[in-house]
Amino acid sequence: MAALPFALNHMTTPALPLDAYFALARSLGMTSVEIRNDLPGNAILDGAPAADVAALAGRHGVTIISINALQRFNEWNETRAAEADHLISYAKDCGAKALVLVPVNDGSGQADGERQSNLKQALSALKPMLDAAGVIGLVEPLGFEICSLRSKTEAVDAIRAIGGEGTFRIVHDTFHHHLADEPAIHPDMTGLVHISGVTDRNVAIADLRDSHRVLVDQNDTLDNVGQIRRLLAAGYAGPFSFEPFADEVHGLVDPVTALKASMAYMEAGL
């Protein structure tokens, strides 16, 4: 089979400046990257003009597939609208194809009826903003029990309910898919897959957190290979983006070797 279309999220190597991060992606044979607005001293938070980021991406020959992320997107208010406007403008000006939309994840907004209504309200407000900029909205359900949007099916239903199929896609995150325990996948509505593994077998599923997310290897408990195989078989053809949050990954002296080993493991498993 052809090599998987791997991508790199800046969370994999958050300490690397943007220039070195783009170079790292290219050294791994990747041309798709995700930048973030939650890394101090780095893209967006450091005040780097979007035009400079676009130029840097052009120099390295990488495509910015997303900015990660508009937080609490389904709690729509004036503050959120202003944040969305800023990030969508930045995405447009730096050449990013999409903006990741992360739901409220603090135990609020979970009631049946309330969460669906909040979701549709936010999507309806975001749609014209995204459409005007030519940016896709990537809705990312989170598997945590306290999250206000755990179900990919609920996300897809809301997108369809507001006629947003041309504007929105969902993120299939292998970690969150495992935590949510939702069998359904929606390959036709999936715009991005985030991959990370969990190797600690002593932590209950309900207790897993971002800090447990490492690179995928033979000790993975999330069945990343099985999830990828299923998505490919169902017709998903988009990128598979590394998004580990664990300190031990962030502290790697040689991330290139570790990432190449993880890529080889997943491709061999398919």
The pTM for the full model equals 0.97
Residues contacting residue 53 through CB under 8 Å, at least 6 positions apart: 18, 35, 43, 64, 94, 95
- pLDDT computed for residue 42 by the predictor: 84
pLDDT (tens digit per residue) in 201-254: 999 999 999 999 999 999 999 999 999 999 999 999 999 999 999 999 999 999
Phi, psi of 43 (to 5 degrees): -40, 135
- pLDDT computed for residue 39 by the predictor: 92
Q: Which class for 59: exposed (0-12), middle (13-18), buried (19 or more C-beta within 10 A)?
A: exposed
Whether the Cβ atoms of residue 171 and residue 218 lie closer than 8 Å to each other:
no
Q: Please state which architecture CATH assigns to domain 6-269.
A: Alpha-Beta Barrel (3.20)
Residues contacting residue 169 through CB under 8 Å, at least 6 positions apart: 98, 136, 137, 138, 139, 189, 190, 191, 192
Cα separation, 169 vs 223, in Å, equals 23
Given a cut of 90, whether residue 3 has pLDDT beyond it is: no
Model confidence at 147, pLDDT cuts 50, 70, 90, reads: very high
Cα separation, 88 vs 179, in Å, equals 29
pLDDT (tens digit per residue) in 77-125: 999 999 999 999 999 999 999 999 999 999 999 999 999 999 999 999 9
- pLDDT computed for residue 43 by the predictor: 79
Q: What is the 3-state secondary structure (H, E, C) of the chain?
A: CCCCCEEEEHHHCCCCCHHHHHHHHHHCCCCEEEEECCCCCCCCCCCCCHHHHHHHHHHHCCEEEEEEEECCCCCCCHHHHHHHHHHHHHHHHHCCCEEEECCCCCCCCCCCCHHHHHHHHHHHHHHHHHHHHCCEEEECCCCCCCCCCCCHHHHHHHHHHCCCCCCEEEEEEHHHHHHHCCCCCCHHHEEEEEECECCCCCCCHHHCCHHHCECCCCCCCCCHHHHHHHHHHCCCCCCEEECCCCHHHHCCCCHHHHHHHHHHHHHHHC
Cα separation, 232 vs 269, in Å, equals 13
- pLDDT computed for residue 40 by the predictor: 86
- pLDDT computed for residue 46 by the predictor: 87
Q: What is the CA radius of gyration of the chain?
A: 18
**Range of lowest pLDDT (2-6, 58-62, 118-122, 153-157):** 2-6
Peptide bond just before 69 cis, omega within 30 deg: yes
Give CA separation, 270 vs 229, 231, 232, 235, in Å.
6, 12, 10, 15
Q: What is the average per-residue pLDDT within 134-160? A: 98
Structural domain spans, the chain = 6-269
- pLDDT computed for residue 1 by the predictor: 52
Given a cut of 80, whether residue 36 has pLDDT beyond it is: yes
Q: What is the average per-residue pLDDT within 34-38? A: 96
- pLDDT computed for residue 47 by the predictor: 87
Q: What is the average per-residue pLDDT within 174-200? A: 97
Whether the Cβ atoms of residue 13 and residue 250 lie closer than 8 Å to each other:
yes
Model confidence at 2, pLDDT cuts 50, 70, 90, reads: low
**Mean pLDDT for the chain overall:** 96
